[in-house]
Amino acid sequence: MAASPDFAELSSLRAQLDDLTARVVAVGDRYRDTDDSAIAAELDQAERTLLSATRALDRAASMLDHD
């Protein structure tokens, strides 16, 4: 019956990733259309990576939910 605590843990991690993603986007937006737009491009890549991690957590949680 480890699925329930693990599902809760994954849910918590997902919430943290959502927060991190929003923070990364906010910083990136400050550099968009500036001379430092390369910073925004790097942060856009970080955002994509965080979104990919979120999808992986969602898939894992879905597998736990079906057990």
* Average pLDDT, 10 consecutive residues per value, the chain (67 residues): 82 98 97 94 98 97 83
Q: Is residue 1 one of the residues assigned to a domain?
A: no
Residue 46 lies in a domain: yes
> Residue for token digits 């597998």?
63
Answering whether pTM is above 0.85, one says: yes
Domain residue limits at 54: 8-25+37-65
Q: Phi-psi category of 34—alpha, beta or left, where left has phi over 0 and alpha has psi -120 to 50?
A: beta
Residue 58 maps to a domain: yes
Calpha distance 29→24 (Å, rounded): 9
User: Is residue 14 domain-resident?
Assistant: yes
User: Does a structural domain hold residue 2?
Assistant: no
Task: Give the total number of structural domains in the chain.
Answer: 1
pLDDT, position 66: 74
For residue 1, the model assigns a pLDDT of 46
Is 31 within the bounds of a domain?
no
Cβ 12 vs Cβ 54: under 8 Å: no
Q: How many DSSP H helices and E strands does the chain contain?
A: 2, 0
pLDDT, residue 4, reads 84
